[in-house]
Copies of this chain bind each other. A is one copy, B any other.
């Protein structure tokens, strides 16, 4: 993964071949690469099933007294907590690489949708009505991604959790302005 990110950052995603990535990652070959990642894009997104589990667990473990938005807030909190400061630099590189490739943005959109889906399903499990669940999940995901983007550029010393809480609050406020 490190080899891939570095090569993508140096030469661009399209100009980098899977063989090059494998080669840099310790003289390996294409075949080995595809044994670890289902395709070339996935090398940048591997491990995100974990994110789905994290938000599901957070929502599943929220107290019965919690409102849907409180459940989502705790999910966003737990997810944001995964990204400790030492991952910030890599996140910044990643963001830049993705911003330059339509193919990678497509995968990103898919992963984002999967996160919304995971939150929605977990909320439904908690007997939140479908549409309310969808909107709450969307709001949480939007807060997380917005916060992630600002955190990754690193011009602000606050942690991702702090960024996420602020983003969540702002989105909530914006929602109440929507009549």
Contacts and interface: CB of A to CB of B under 8 A. Distances in A.
Contact of A109 (B113, B138, B142): B113
Interface in A165-179: 170-171, 173-175, 177-179
Contacts of A48: none
A69 interface: yes
B105 A174 contact: no
Contacts of A68: 178
A34 interface: no
Contacts of A112: 109, 113
Nearest to A170: B131
A139 interface: yes
Copies in the complex: 2
Interface residues of A, number: 27
Contacts of A178: 68-69, 132, 135-136, 139, 175
B109 A174 contact: no
A165 to B, nearest CB: 15
Contacts of A170: 131
A131 B171 contact: yes
Contact of A134 (B110, B136, B142, B173): B142
Contacts of A109: 106, 109-110, 112-113
A115 B68 CA distance: 27
Interface of A: 67-69, 105-107, 109-110, 112-113, 129, 131-132, 134-136, 138-139, 142, 170-171, 173-175, 177-179
